Structure 1
Amino acid sequence: MTAAVVASGDVATSLTGRRVIVKVPATSANLGPGFDTLGLALARYDELEVSVPDASTAPDAPGLEIEVHGVGEGEVPLDESHLVVRAIAHTFARAGVPMPALKLVAHNVIPHGRGLGSSGAAIVAGVVAAKGLLEGIVDFSADELLDLATELEGHPDNVAPALFGGLTIAWVTPEGPRHKKLMVHRGVSPLVLVPEHEMSTALARSLQPESVPHEDAVFNVSRSALLVAALIQSPELLFQATEDKLHQHYRAAAMPETDRLIRVLREAGHPAVVSGAGPSILVLASDPSERAAAIALVEATADTAWQALPLAVDFKGATVQSA
Structure 2
Amino acid sequence: MADTALAPRPAPALDETMLAMDVVDTLRHADRLVQRELEGDARRAALKQRLREIYAGQGIAVPDRILDQGVAALEEHRFAYTPTPPSLQRSLATLWVTRGRWGRMAGIALAALLLAGGGWWLGVHVPAERARIAQQQELQGLPRALQAEHDRVLAATALPGPRDRAARLLAEGRAAASAGALSDARARLASLQELERDLVREYQVRIVSRPGEQSGVWRVPKANPRARNFYLIVEAVGPDGRPLEVPVTSEEDGTTARVAKWGLHVPEAEFERVRQEKMRTGLIGDPVVGQKRAGELETRWSIPVTGGAILTW
TM-score for the superposition, normalised by structure 2: 0.21
Structure with the largest fraction of strand: 1
TM-score for the superposition, normalised by structure 1: 0.21
Which structure has more relative contact order (CA 8 Å, sep 6+)? It is 1
Structure with the largest fraction of helix: 2
